[in-house]
Amino acid sequence: MCELLVGLPDVKVLAVEEVLGETLVVHVEQAGDRSWCHRCGGRSRVKDRAQVVLADLACFGRRARLVWHKFRLCCGDGDCEMGSWTWEDPRIAHSRQAMTDRAGRWATVQVGMLGRSVAEVARELGCDWHTVNDTVVSYGTALVDDPARIAVTTALGLDETLFVRRGEWHRQEFVTSIVDVSPGRTAQLLDVVEGRKAVPATAWINGRPSAWREGIAWGCLDLSGPYRKVFDDALPNTAQVADPFHVIKVANRQTRRVPPESPKRDFRTQGPQNRPAV
């Protein structure tokens, strides 16, 4: 029953630490046949057990920790030159991760898809900010690097975004957002490159397959000189279209610069002494 409640494959529940109002702690170890020696193929034996504490998903509305009693194995043949090795199981947690696999996937969805902050997710799981952030980066990198993530694109947009303020003087650092703005579907963020100059965005576009680049008919930009150079260099056959927001912004700025006309005199509101003679 405990193994069913834990919901992890091939594990044996050793103990459960339950204190009212405190984090629920579950101790587990791997079940099933141990791996064989990688060198001679002989049967392995347990050398020691290291306890690895992992942040897990909440259980019954309470924060939870999974303590994995991880086997360190060695060859049973004393004459074998094979050293010791750790019995890994990515279904429980990946190597060097501080969260279980299911918690890591859940956190990646919360931050990457639903737009929740890392700090908010960390508070919910009761763990450190860096634990959640490192896990999201690890899981998210594989998703970002997946070639199938970028579909056929007919319109590509470039826009600058203030990413962070650094240092004592809060120096502004910008990034360039590369967005699929193809008509007929919701805009999709493809990638973010450092800075707002032409070189990083040009390198990113040139790194895409030629068939994908040839399918882009429209380039949407914000009247920026560097972004215009990106399309001129990387996508010379693309028709460049100005972002409506920035067009209206420029128009409004130019309108404010026009000096106002002199007000017309309305003689109907003036006294008889100021009225012109008939």
Residues 100-154 pLDDT 10s: 999 999 999 999 889 899 999 999 999 999 999 999 999 988 887 777 778 899 9
- 237 pLDDT band, cuts 50/70/90, is very high
- 181 pLDDT band, cuts 50/70/90, is very high
Does 224 fall in a domain? Answer: yes
Q: Are residues 134 and 199 in the same domain?
A: no
Q: Are residues 75 and 112 in the same domain?
A: no
Q: Are residues 125 and 207 in the same domain?
A: no
79 or 98: which leads in pLDDT:
98
Domain count of the fold of the chain: 3
Average confidence (pLDDT) over 175-200: 91
Q: Are residues 124 and 198 in the same domain?
A: no
pLDDT of residue 275 exceeding 60: no
Average confidence (pLDDT) over 237-248: 88
pLDDT of residue 262 exceeding 70: no
Query: What's residue 40's pLDDT?
Result: 81
Return the CA Rg of the chain. 31
pLDDT of residue 268 exceeding 60: no
Query: What's residue 238's pLDDT?
Result: 93
Supply 31's token pair: 């079940």
Does 272 fall in a domain? Answer: no
Q: Are residues 54 and 132 in the same domain?
A: no
> Which DSSP string corresponds to 96-156?
T-SB-HHHHHHHHIIIIIS---HHHHHHHHT--HHHHHHHHHHHHHHHHT-GGGS---SEE
Q: Are residues 103 and 71 in the same domain?
A: no
Does 108 fall in a domain? Answer: yes
Report the alpha-carbon angle 241-115-125, nearest 5.
165
Phi and psi angles of residue 79, each rounded to the nearest 5 degrees, phi first: -90, -10
pLDDT of residue 176 exceeding 70: yes
- 1 pLDDT band, cuts 50/70/90, is low
pLDDT of residue 54 exceeding 70: yes
Using the structure block, give the residue that is written with the tokens 């303590």. 67
Does 218 fall in a domain? Answer: yes
Q: Are residues 81 and 104 in the same domain?
A: no
Residue 100: closest CA among 65, 63, 124: 65
**Mean pLDDT taken over the chain:** 85
Does 109 fall in a domain? Answer: yes
Q: Are residues 178 and 239 in the same domain?
A: yes
Taking a C-beta distance cutoff of 8 angstroms, is the pair 82, 38 a contact?
A: yes
- 258 pLDDT band, cuts 50/70/90, is low
Query: What's residue 230's pLDDT?
Result: 94
Query: What's residue 158's pLDDT?
Result: 93
Q: Are residues 241 and 161 in the same domain?
A: yes
pTM of the complete model: 0.64
Among 39-43, 77-81, 138-142, 237-241, the range of highest mean pLDDT: 237-241
Does 10 fall in a domain? Answer: yes
Residue 18: closest CA among 72, 84, 65, 74: 65
Does 32 fall in a domain? Answer: yes
Q: Are residues 32 and 108 in the same domain?
A: no
Q: Are residues 5 and 83 in the same domain?
A: yes
Report the C-alpha gap between 84 and 51 in whole angstroms: 17
Quote the domain boundaries for residue 249.
155-255
Q: DSSP 3-state assignment of 252?
A: helix
pLDDT of residue 78 exceeding 80: no
Burial of residue 108 (number of CB atoms within 10 Å: 0-12, 13-18, 19+)? buried
* Amino acid type, 132: V
Taking a C-beta distance cutoff of 8 angstroms, is the pair 178, 195 a contact?
A: no
Query: What's residue 84's pLDDT?
Result: 81
Report the C-alpha gap between 188 and 178 in whole angstroms: 9
Query: What's residue 31's pLDDT?
Result: 83
Q: Are residues 166 and 251 in the same domain?
A: yes
Does 277 fall in a domain? Answer: no
